[in-house]
Structure 1
Amino acid sequence: MPTRPVDLFAVDHLFSDEEIAIRDTVRQFVTKEVKPHIADWYENGSIPARELARDLGELGVLGMHLEGYGCAGTTASAYGLACMELEAGDSGLRSLVSVQGSLAMFAIWKWGSEDQKQEWLPRMAAGEALGCFGLTEPDYGSNPAGMRTRARRDGDDWILNGNKMWITNGSVADVAVVWAQTGEPGVGRGVRGFVVPTDTPGFSAPAITRKMSLRASVTSELVLDNVRLPDSAILPDAEGLRGPLSCLNEARYGIVFGALGAARDCLETAIDYAGGRDIFDRPLSAFQLTQAKFADMTLELGKGVLLAAHLGAMKDAGTLKHEQVSLGKLNNVRESIAIARECRTVLGAAGITLEFPIMRHANNLESVLTYEGTSEVHQLIIGQAVTGESAYR
């Protein structure tokens, strides 16, 4: 009997029984509730985000690695395994959960006031309220210190003006965590975060359409036109870029696991297809060149899972550094997109259709490759770690 690629690496013993049970529960949800519909959602460029958020809230995966306020309080490893199963369904689904839990919720949980936490986190954990995270701008992605969004004092209030771009969940969010320059001197020093209810006058979130990637995901621009907020809207404990960068590190960690879910789904699909595809009177899977492809892809997938498991254990132990997250993000997304592309060749023309998930995963991974830090940014983070020299400028 054939062995599933990841099973060759016998990784289950690296996780607790509870972590494996969470993984299997999320896998069952994705198999039953997502996979039968995802091709249509992708083709139509839409996703029932609010309905899914409520289901995901009941499942307990929204902010699952956070403590208190209705959050499940699981291990980081359990969260990683959940991300892997979600992205085996679609990167857009994992992005919804990642932005909700690791960006918007984490920002409030880590840096917010007690009032902000009580107001938003229980509803967000339950999927009753959706959040988004406004950092990236049209001209400032990899260099957030240059952001043009401004917050100025007006009496006891703040007035926000600016634009954010490529914001997941933006058009369906109930609350946005928005980062803005307050004018304090020093590169990035004056960056502060604000909790912005999306029904605040002057706030709008037009959807970004005509995407070729992450089509089953809500992507938006955020427009802030003299948005007036009380002083209580500011995240009191986040000053400078350490606030948003800490959130990005949380989201990047989820991607370390998540991207492998897409790769695994591609590889298992290609193996199943090759076993049933006869060519020259033999199954395609019986040819040496095909098996060589499968062997190489299995190796890279398994190595990625082992790396993710190691980083998860370090995160649970409190020893994980941000440059180590970059190791995982750079390697696992790069190898996952290579696996998706190679699997497409096994299916030939069939691989470009939505009858199979491979081209959908490959297109999605093009976005995953560059969001939450491009490959080049992660190379520079790693390069600085091993040389002691900054090469950003």
Structure 2
Amino acid sequence: MSANDSLQTLRQRLAAGVPASGGDDASARRQWWAALTVVQELLLEQGCQQGLWLAAPLPALHEPLLISRFHGWVWTPPQWSGRAPELPGSAANNPASERSLWQLPLQTGDGTDPLLLLITGPLQVAMALHGSGAQRQLLVRFEQPLIAELLQSLGNRLASEQGDAASDLKHQIQQLGSLENSPQLAEQFWPRVAAQLAKATPSLTLVSAASNETDDSDQQLGLLEAIAHEVRTPLATIRTLIRSLQRRSDLSPPLQKRLGQIDHECSEQIDRFGLIFQAAELQRQPSQQRALARTDLGALLPGLEQIWQRQLQRRDLTLELEQPEQLPAVMSDPVLLESMLIGLMDRFSRGLRRGESVRVELASAGEQLKLRFSGGRDDDDSPGDTASVGPVLSWDPATGSLQLSQAATQKLFSSLGGRLTERPGSSLTLYLPLANVEGCEENGA
């Protein structure tokens, strides 16, 4: 590897011609995460089906849908040799989920600041953190000649380090066909980064005494989105580190079990705060349309059953699941639906006594699929009142639990094409439209 192909040299090329700006490491990293979020949102909105990314010192992308479609090359610290980083959305012990990831070691002189080169048909971008001390800054470049130069340097480096990885990079570039940076996407980038930072970083804002209720509600939702984002980010980092440790073969069974428990807890809280974020976003943009797709609930159910079992075991509850031999496909958002059903079990089971059982029944109901959660005893007292906490949350004083309000939960399921009815403390019933109903798949509703 030549000195010109070191990752630190690539960062310096990105910094060439960019005015120096003073900033601390914390603010630069907040900008980095905001920029990553915006880039991935733009690609998801474009429906980008293929691409490639090269990153260090860890995978930068965190959207599972993009990771499943893109090929990646990541340079990691030497001590990570033999322990591939866990990609969000990848299944544990599933080698197929790692075939599109090449892992290579960082070399002396590479540095450890984040670096990402992302190549797709509609958008090519290079990003890095650069500088030291009080001169830290985020670098983002869209110029195609510079992108091509950086890609050539990384290709040369791969050729000297691992020929197969270099050949795969060349093949994937050829598969992409013509590359053309969309001016509209580049123009949208910085305003959206600014908006993302405004949401993610609560700040002191002067509000006039005449501000109306709508403004107050919007500020509360913005703060709630920021809190949800700030909670999920460190939990995702902890989960990634936990999963990297689980790959080690020298861990004792008790330690493996404890790491698994931490992993499950992080995943549940990430999903929980993800739903809070979704509910707040839906409240802020009630007219936003969600694209629905044919969803195989039968394929989701085995994994859901395991997660439900773990949720209930922690409260000393049991699960009874009744389902037909063949479950019909439904129209929904498969990724969000799974998280919502996990959240629904958590919501329903919190009010039950230890030793009780939760019964989940799935059955066809005309042109819909019905999922009914029931449990408790007939002589249970009526549940206590819950207190509203802002526009989308409620608090149960009896249990001390904070959760999505009934109205927010119903609105979320409505955005998934479903309808939720609830008898607090007694049952929850969800109706989802069948995918084989005439006109349903064509309309996505």
TM bracket (short chain): under 0.3
What is the TM-score when the length of structure 2 is the normalising length? Answer: 0.23
What is the TM-score when the length of structure 1 is the normalising length? Answer: 0.26
Larger radius of gyration: 2
Higher relative contact order (CA 8 A, sep 6+): 1
Please state which structure has a larger fraction of its residues in helix: 1
